[in-house]
Amino acid sequence: MELVAQLEQRFSELIDKIKVLKEENQHLREEVEAERNLRRDIESRIDAILEKIQSELE
C-alpha cells in the first residue's frame, strides 16, 4: 500500500508543477505580447521620422 501512496504523492506533485508551469507560460506570453507591441510602436515612430527626413530631402 505504501507504493500506491508514493505514486499518489508523486502524481499530485506533478499536477502542481504543471499548474505552476501553465501560469508561468501565460505570464511569459503576456510579456512577449507587450514586447511585440513596444516593438511595433518603436518601428512606427522610426518610420515616421524617416518619412520626415525623406520629405525634407526632396
Q: Can you give 18-36 as a three-state secondary structure string?
A: HHHHHHHHHHHHHHHHHHH
This prediction's pTM: 0.71
Cα separation, 28 vs 43, whole angstroms: 22
What average pLDDT does range 3-8 have in this prediction? Answer: 95
**Looking at residue 58, what is its pLDDT?**
83
pLDDT tens per residue, range 19-58: 999 999 999 999 999 999 999 999 999 999 999 999 998 8
**Looking at residue 1, what is its pLDDT?**
72
**Looking at residue 36, what is its pLDDT?**
98
What sign results for the dihedral spanned by CA atoms 12, 13, 18, 24?
Answer: positive
Q: Please enumerate, as own/partner, the contacts of 13-17 that have beta carbons within 8 Å and a separation of 24 or more.
A: none
**Looking at residue 50, what is its pLDDT?**
97
